[in-house]
Amino acid sequence: METRHAVTARTSPESARDIPEATVARLPIYLRALTTLSEQGTSTCSSEELAAAAGVNSAKLRKDLSYLGSYGTRGVGYDTDYLRYQIAREIGVTQDWPVVIVGIGNLGQALANYSGFRSRGFRVVALLDADPARHEEVVAGIDVRPFDHLEQIVRDHAVAIGVIATPALAAQDVADRMVACGITSILNFAPTVLNVPDQVDVRKVDLSIELQILAYHEQRKAASA
Amino acid sequence: METRHAVTARTSPESARDIPEATVARLPIYLRALTTLSEQGTSTCSSEELAAAAGVNSAKLRKDLSYLGSYGTRGVGYDTDYLRYQIAREIGVTQDWPVVIVGIGNLGQALANYSGFRSRGFRVVALLDADPARHEEVVAGIDVRPFDHLEQIVRDHAVAIGVIATPALAAQDVADRMVACGITSILNFAPTVLNVPDQVDVRKVDLSIELQILAYHEQRKAASA
DNA sequence: CTCGGTTTGTTCTCGCGTTCACAAACTCCT
DNA sequence: AGGAGTTTGTGAACGCGAGAACAAACCGAG
């Protein structure tokens, strides 16, 4: 949880209970667990059940949900679909978020094809790449377009979220251009530290860092054996 | 250095201090920043410089490094290459870790092709997929093999780390088989909660969860504007 | 050798997040 | 209606991590 959202004092009009960052990070997990339960025909679930499905402690789950309001019934539990809707609304995925993906290498293609986006409130409105050789291609039913089109696309579709799947060297440039176009949230897959203004949120997904963390623990296991 | 303890000289010769999880998660970032600095010809760097390159607070950086030992020189800073080696050794990436990737869809292919693995101490020794139609393919110079070969491959290459890039429905089965074969660290890209024994480490990378977290903050921004 | 300037390593404090434990609230059965 | 059995929501305790601040240690000049 290295995101530093807490610093930017985002004054909210009213009733803006500010939900702890750690809780926000878990809400999508609960959302997914609820969807699974619902598909299995479970119309009501207890905090124990839901916590088990989400892989967390039930006390933590209840405290997390308490930040949203009182959507449960004591002695009974939670209505699966009702709670699911409330969480989705709180996260903001009841509406559709247009997303731009920049960098159509292997990872960018994987992202473009990932069906989990569309089904969860995100719509890929454009794929951009700097390499002219790729502008002929169609990936996941979407034309790959020149990076220069970014500004127009952001304006036309009111894009607020950008995904960077370029090599590390290009990432900072892409981020700068995104910020200049008015994008305020960036999901960065490039293995580099991005420098952006405070009001822009950046989340980083780094494959090799995750593996290195596993390697550390693996080494400890081997050493103690 | 500090309290003259007569008792605690019992710990194992090197790296027995347990490093906080939050610090472990940042060590790979420092490692990458040091590599970048080194490539730029910087032979010595202060905690300020390194912290800036890694995108963290300098006090936090110094505290993190202090868990590893005293590898800096007061009044001077850190020797870039020396510190880099020490961190790499602590993480365990001075040795090579064999890795198996299961599920050769778009994401699996992207992972197989990701050069950042090999350059950081990881070697993909096998690509596995349950679909027989894929067993003809060669991805990133590696034959795609049947999932049944898992046990033999794990034994032959002493694999400890497995990567799951399958659909959500298959993930738990794959994890079970991995655990049964002796794999003790799993990197899971499937959008599902894995159930594994305590001694097995699991790290989860979930693309749509990251986007949902961004969406939440984006919604807050829009509401307060 | 000494002194001023610099940077590390560490101590201390504070705030956040996790977990426990329990009162409040609901259902169902008699 | 009342009591037994559940389950939620939350107050309180606790541990961990972040950041500020500072003493210790090092370099170089004179």
Q: What is the CATH number of the domain that holds B49?
A: 1.10.10.10
Cβ of residue A173 near strand D, that is under 7 Å?
no
Chain B contact present for A197, CB below 8 A:
no
User: Is the confidence at residue B105, as pLDDT, over 60?
Assistant: yes
User: In terms of domains, do A75 and A107 share one?
Assistant: no
Residue B13's pLDDT is what?
A: 41
Tell me, in Å, how far CA of A63 is from C1' of D12? 14
Do B30 and B84 touch, CB atoms closer than 8 A? no
Q: Which residues of A touch B185 (CB under 8 A)?
A: 214-215, 217-218
Q: What pLDDT is stored for residue B55 in this prediction?
A: 97
Do B65 and B162 fall within a single domain? no
Q: How many domains is chain B built from?
A: 2
Same domain flag for A173 and A106: yes
Helix (H, G, I), strand (E, B) or coil at A47: helix
Same domain, residue pair B102 and B200: yes
Per-residue pLDDT at B2: 32
Percent of chain B with pLDDT over 70: 92
Total beta-carbon pairs less than 8 A apart between chain A and chain B: 202
Same domain membership, residue A139 and residue A124: yes
Domain match, B107 and B178 both: yes
Query: In terms of domains, do A203 and A173 share one?
Result: yes
pLDDT at B119: 86
Pairwise pLDDT comparison (A139 vs A11), residue with the higher score: A139
- What residues make up the domain containing A107? 97-209
Kindly state whether residues B79 and B113 are assigned to the same domain.
no
| Candidate from B24, B97, B208 with C-beta closest to A120 | B208
Q: What is the pLDDT of residue A115?
A: 87
- The yes-or-no verdict on residue A3 having pLDDT over 70 is no
The whole-number average pLDDT for the span A91-112 is 96
Contact, B75 CB vs strand D, < 7 Å: yes
Q: Would you call A121 an interface residue with chain B, using a CB distance cutoff of 8 Å? A: yes
**Tens digit of each residue's pLDDT (9 = 90 or more) over B130-167:** 999 999 999 999 999 999 999 999 999 999 999 999 99
Instruction: Quote the mean pLDDT of chain B.
Output: 92
A170 shares a domain with A146? yes
Contacts of B218 (CB under 8 A, 6+ apart): A92, A97, A160, A161, A184, A185, A201
Question: Residues A45, A30: one domain?
Answer: yes
Residue nearest D10, CA–C1′ metric? A63
Cβ under 8 Å to B: A residues 163-182: 163
